[in-house]
Structure 1
Amino acid sequence: MIPSDDRQPPQKGLFELYLEDMINLRHPLVRMAERIDWPQCEQQFGPYWCPDNGRPGHPIRLHVGLQMFKHMQGLSDRELLDQWVENPYWQYFCGESTFQHEPPMDESTMGRFRRRIGEEGARALLRMTVELGEGTGTVAPGSFRVAVADTTVMHKAIAHPSEARLMARAHRRLVARAKAEGVTFRQTYERSLDGLLMRIGRYAHARQFRRMHKRLRKLHGYLGRVCGDVIRQKPYGQRSQALDDSLYQALYLLRQYADPKHRPKLYSLHEPEVACIAKGKARTPYEFGSKVSVITTAKEGFVLDCQALRGNPYDGHTLHEGLMRVHRHCGHLPVHTLVDRGYRGSEITPLSNVRITGKQKGKGTAHPEHQHRRNSVEPIIGHLKHEGLLDRCHLRGHDGDRIHAVLCAVGFNLRKILRRLARLFGLRFIQELLGLLRESGTQTGQSMNQVVSIPV
């Protein structure tokens, strides 16, 4: 049912702890809460609930505020709710009028809200941060003319993939699900798996690869025999969907080990869409996750788009769609887009003038005055990863990757807006203080003149 926000009492109670009496109303969070159009948020996210059925949900302002704080502070759902109880400013931002001593919801409710709004809802929050940044002066209107684009890797919450670990895990999962459906095995080989895994790991550490592959072939044979028993006793059409998925993953791993050139490879059983991406880093030659396209303004480094991509596409093939998303978020396209040489071939897009760093030497139309700002996107990506949550995604599936990437951009923009408001109202406070000092000085001078003019 559509949430109703009835947390504002008509009259203050005598023994209540009201947040307005506890906090500093000049705080940047209070100022930012006053500038956000909360009725528009309720109008935007209200259709995601059933209008006349079910239990009324939590207020939309509470949901949106919690998602903002999660990605502003880089916290998990559990850590966020624990700190929300301790922070009166966060409670005021989320629409509470009195101090709350209990968490407002469970962490699973936050996950259901993210799944409910999906990627489109997350993009609505990103559009709201762009409007808020323009309204507070965090990003100038002329800064949208020059944008910078780059890609990075968002790691997935999986263990480092290895053939032995994947086959052993697929073996155990297939045996457990097959037994639950009445399949009887001549031998399951489960007792031998731990010893094989230990030997394979030791041989790999000692670089004795011939012995390691001998044990891997043995593990491969065990998994093949188990798959054969399942196929004989449960033909196609008689297996459940869960057993079919486990059998398919086991057969895929067998094919993958037999043919090393087989593509695409399976790197995780619970996240089969994870891709292996090589970005040319010496410390991490291969990263497992999804590629993320980031587009920012060249001057302020304000994030205009952050999109998780499926697989490992070529960077130059992702720019056209990224510019279309920027148009959805900002209402207009950048005149110039600065990219690195990984975007070669993307100059043909009619949406913007693509400027590739280092492609042509010298000065000219290929090197405008903002060309040196191409590197400004690199620290933005670092802040997205280390201050936000772009470093590792714990949400399930590719849809979770896309939602998580957009919300990370929302959190980064809100941090910039918050710093801008802190500087802005700090300067105003200093100006007001100087004005009061001038007035007091003038009054003091007038009183001294009156004292001097009194005849003795």
Structure 2
Amino acid sequence: MYRTEDKTQLSFEDFYLPFGGKLNPNNRWVQLADLIPWEDLEAEYASQFAIESGQGAPAIQFRTALGALIIKEKLGITDEETVEQIRETPYLQYLIGMQGYQDEAPFDPSMPGHSLRSLPGRASGMVHFRKRISMDMISRANEMIIPKNVKKTKDDTEAEKEENPEVENNGKLLIDATCVPGDIRYPTDLSLLNESREKLETILDVLHAERPKGATKPRTYRQKARKDFLAVIKKRRASKNKMRKAIRKQLGYIRRNLRHIEQLATVVGLNSLSRQQYRNLLVISEVFRQQALMYESKDHRISGRIVSISQPHIRPIVRGKAGTPVEFGMKISSANIDGYMFIDRCSWDPYNESGDLVMQAEKYRHRYGVYPESIHADQIYRTRGNRNWCKERGIRLSGPPLGRPPKDRGENRERKKLARQDELDRIAVEGTFGRAKRRYSMGRLMTKLAETSESQVAMIMLVMNLEKIRKDLFYVFIIAMLRSRKITKSHFPVVLGYGNMAA
């Protein structure tokens, strides 16, 4: 059940503080709350629940859910610490839509009944927020929050076209792709098979416990299998023959365990297995099929390869970087427009990002009504097909053109200068990825589900855009104050870069 509340925007002057005083309107959390159109975004979230059905505890409000996710990503803390920070800080309570300060946790930090079981109406935690606020919902929120006074919108462009039908392409589109690693250990075939064997042994124990007393337990050779695994994994550098022999042995143990489970399932069924154990059984069956096929073909590649039993959606992504040629996680194609980031594609399977150029250019046109004047991308995007597509639409694709350089030295110098400037402009998208992975949590996603991981990546982009909007508005305010001579440069020596930094 979802209960709609008063649509009147809570003012920071009305926020109740039991110890007296008022909130500072210049506080960063108050400014962030004013940038988000909460009411416009709430309708889709509320559609997941029955409105005022009268059955069950009411769900957590949308502003509370989205605000908590923003706080977590901005501060870079855990779910539990996020709840504690909200409980202790009135500014954070204002951001999530509370009417006044209260010294108690507003919701459960993890799963239902984790620590606030006795509190009515608070059975939703951060995990459920990430499930309910999907990646698509956050992406649409991102499109709404980007300020209209920073970039010309589609309505402005269409109005300009009516006055001047010959409006040309406008703006720069920076595109690139990156891998968002998941939180898994580095996978090897032998360690993956050993983990699969151990989980199957646990499932066998559960199924055997359901049989009548005195029934013979199937032999698993678990001690011998463990010794075979340790004999190879402890070696500093095992030979290929020894590694292949160890893999063959583990495949044999797993094949025997799967056969025993199939026989027990016909007798006692699988109802005694937990949801997680049943899921592991299905995943391990696919892991065994893939590993046996690679062993027989003497190959290390297979479509849809599973590298983690707990997170089977994670795939190896070949990036070709020094030190880490392969990363394990999701791959995203992102667009950078005036410093604001948009996720145009997200996939757990590897793909060639050069095929996204046309789609990203079309999305730019959908946002602003015109194609970009130039597209800045690295070399993998500069295929002949992409070059021809851009040429037909009057879009300049960054990088040197095909063919021999011109004989005219002046013209050749100008081409090199333009290509160099294009590369400098393109670096901005690389810097944004670096900031998302170092400052925020995109360097290693701690979420375990595919949908919650996607939601977290979209939330990181949203928080980064909100922070840029707040900084842009701050600098606009400073410039306006400087022009009106209400302040001088000496008032902000560090922020504006003037004067002695030590002063």
Q: TM-score range by the shorter chain?
A: 0.7 to 0.9
Stretches of structure 1 that go unaligned for 5 or more consecutive residues are: 437-456
- The 5-angstrom pairing of residues 200-349 of structure 1 reads 200-203=232-235, 205-232=236-263, 234=265, 242=279, 243-261=281-299, 262-264=301-303, 265-297=305-337, 300-305=338-343, 307-326=345-364, 333-343=371-381, 344=383, 345-349=385-389
Aligned residues: 426
From 56, 59, 64, the equivalent of 2:58 is 56
Q: Which residue of 2 aligns with 1:85?
A: 87
CA contact (8 A) 1:175 1:188 kept: yes
In structure 1, distance between residues paired with 2:108 and 2:270: 36
Name the amino acid aligned to 2:57.
R
TM-score (norm 1): 0.80
From 382, 390, 393, the equivalent of 2:445 is 393
Q: Which residue of 2 aligns with 1:454?
A: none
Q: Which residue of 1 aligns with 2:464?
A: 412
**Structure number having the greater helix percentage:** 1
1:115 equivalenced with 2:157 (yes/no): no
Residue 198 (structure 1) shift = 2.5
In structure 2, distance between residues paired with 1:290 and 1:230: 33
CA contact (8 A) 1:306 1:409 kept: no
Residue 429 (structure 1) shift = 6.7
Name the amino acid aligned to 1:371.
D
Describe the SS at the equivalent of 1:150: strand
Tell me the alpha carbon deviations over residues 352-373 of structure 1, each in whole angstroms, 9 at most, x when there is no partner. 8361424546456996896241
Residue 166 (structure 1) shift = 0.8
Which segment is superposed worse, 64-73 or 422-431? 422-431
1:153 equivalenced with 2:179 (yes/no): yes
- Flag the 1:400–1:319 CA change in 2: closer, same or farther, 3 A: farther
Q: Which residue of 2 aligns with 1:371?
A: 422
Residue 149 (structure 1) shift = 0.5
> Once superposed, what is the RMSD of the aligned Cα atoms?
3.7
CA contact (8 A) 2:334 2:345 kept: yes
- The 5-angstrom pairing of residues 157-196 of structure 1 reads 157-182=183-208, 186-196=218-228
CA contact (8 A) 2:332 2:343 kept: no
CA contact (8 A) 1:357 1:374 kept: no
Residue 424 (structure 1) shift = 3.9
Describe the SS at the equivalent of 1:289: strand
CA contact (8 A) 1:185 1:226 kept: no
Tell me the alpha carbon deviations over residues 187-212 of structure 1, each in whole angstroms, 9 at most, x when there is no partner. 11222344333222222x13444434
In structure 2, distance between residues paired with 1:231 and 1:366: 68
Tell me the alpha carbon deviations over residues 380-430 of structure 1, each in whole angstroms, 9 at most, x when there is no partner. 110111112211223344433432222221011112122223434455677
Describe the SS at the equivalent of 1:291: strand
- Flag the 1:88–1:377 CA change in 2: closer, same or farther, 3 A: same
Q: Which residue of 2 aligns with 1:70?
A: 72
CA contact (8 A) 2:17 2:101 kept: no
In structure 1, distance between residues paired with 2:336 and 2:104: 39
Stretches of structure 2 that go unaligned for 5 or more consecutive residues are: 111-124, 158-168, 272-277, 406-411, 489-503
Q: Which residue of 2 aligns with 1:104?
A: 106
- Flag the 1:326–1:65 CA change in 2: closer, same or farther, 3 A: farther
